[in-house]
Chain A
Amino acid sequence: MIGESSMTKASYRLLVRELKLSYRHRQEVLNPLGFFVIVVTLFPLGISPDSEILRTIAPGIIWVAALLASMLSLDTLFKGDFEDGTLEQLVLSEHPLPLLVLVKVFAHWLVSGLPIILFSPLLGVSLQLPAEALQTLVITLLLGTPVLSLVGAIGMGLTVGLSKGGLLQSLLVLPLYIPVLIFAAGAVSGTMADLPIIGQIYILASILLLAISLAPIATSAALRISIG
């Protein structure tokens, strides 16, 4: 019989392990952030430095960059654990796999999603976003990036055993990111147009709840299939 406390303990230990591992690969943790900043920088260079144009496209640019950064950073979510056999141990463990997956995704979001969110207002300012829009941007990122990590984890689970996963993942995962992109970027643009955006925020929040409750189950199933 597994007590609730041992489940909490296992989750906590897994979380600490993940964070420790990330801390020891600090460079890797910074990569998604670097990618995010560079991608956003490319747009003004490619389109126009005109502040009116930049302000119009800023929500989309920042969100698309965040989406790509999140997807690329997820590549490391299960890969290392798969290669050294840890993942097999997690699957075999007495604790429910969806819970462990949730912990892993949360740890991953803390080190890859959170820095992006903290950095986003700065990029927003550089793209001439007004202050209220920056606030909405941060809120939508807080609600949206965990969804990206959770949904992306399903795709990573399916491709973890494949050596040629990279481009395949984008085909699997990006279509599923579309709703988040639409509502989040829509909310930021809406703020600039003085429209009520509470609807989009609620929808993002409900998508987040849906993802928290369902995605770990799908990811666990994917991992079991991949491990065989």
Chain B
Amino acid sequence: MKYILQRLAFYLFTAWAAITLNFFIPRLVPGDPVQSLITKYQGQLSTKSIQSLYVLFGLDKDKSLWSQYIDYWKQLFHGDLGLSFTFFPAPVSQVIGQALPWTLLLVGITTVISFVLGTSLGVVAGWRRGSWADGLLPVTTFFSSVPYFWLGIIAIYLLAGPDSFFPSSGGFDSGLVPAWDQYFIPSAIQHSLLPALTILISSVSGWILSMRNMMVTVSSEDYITVAHAKGLPERRVAVAYAARNALLPNISGFALALGFIVGGTLLVEIVFSYPGLGYTLLQGLGAKDYPLMQGVFLVITISVLVANLLADIAYLLLDPRTRKEG
């Protein structure tokens, strides 16, 4: 319990750091960004949003940096992330709210499949070293060096097309309205297959490699020799003795990997015009929509922190040593 509380305190601190970073980034912009935005949107911005822009960029001359910071926090606690320019006059929180489920489902499901698949393949590759399984290594090395989005482009080129089963863009058929019914869900699944496959292929190799190396290291431990000497079936030694212990570093490596996977997913969404956070971010980038970009960053960071906390809990359940300390 103490362990979980410690981790929770750490993630709260990190969230605070990320939010503070988010507060300071727009204040790095040289010159008067608001003026250039007003010129760009020629009269489309209301006085209220111009005012909120000045507050966002910290150009509100009447207030000190500290009181701006306090205001920023007040806004956040009200769930107010400002107004988006791209989807004017929709508030950022609403735009993100629409995009978030797509990304969460896509990343969540593919990450879990990729972790399970990669780890099991890694167990085989590490246990059967010196057999055909070593042939996996060069292939996985190659795939782990390819950018996600390029693989997505190739996948669209090879597999998608007007006559193909796989649609090349979007999250659902344009004729449908998002709802939980028998028309929308199959269409959404069909549209997510190719992006999911792309993320899966790019991310699975990392798990295979790290698991293989851990298996190799673990399999020369004394307790493995003991298990062999006891005459236990090979399978049981591999799974219950070696793999179980080799799994731990892989789970603690989850924290780092997740950041990478999320980053890669954003790009895959852009390639597939998938209606998630990545595509929203791209639209924000094109229009220099700072409130939207910052909102996306904030939401991604917080989701990653929550996922990390879940991984920590899983680690706690798997590793008795951490339990004893607590």
A, B: real partners: no
Instruction: Show the binding face of A for B, using Cβ within 8 Å.
Output: none
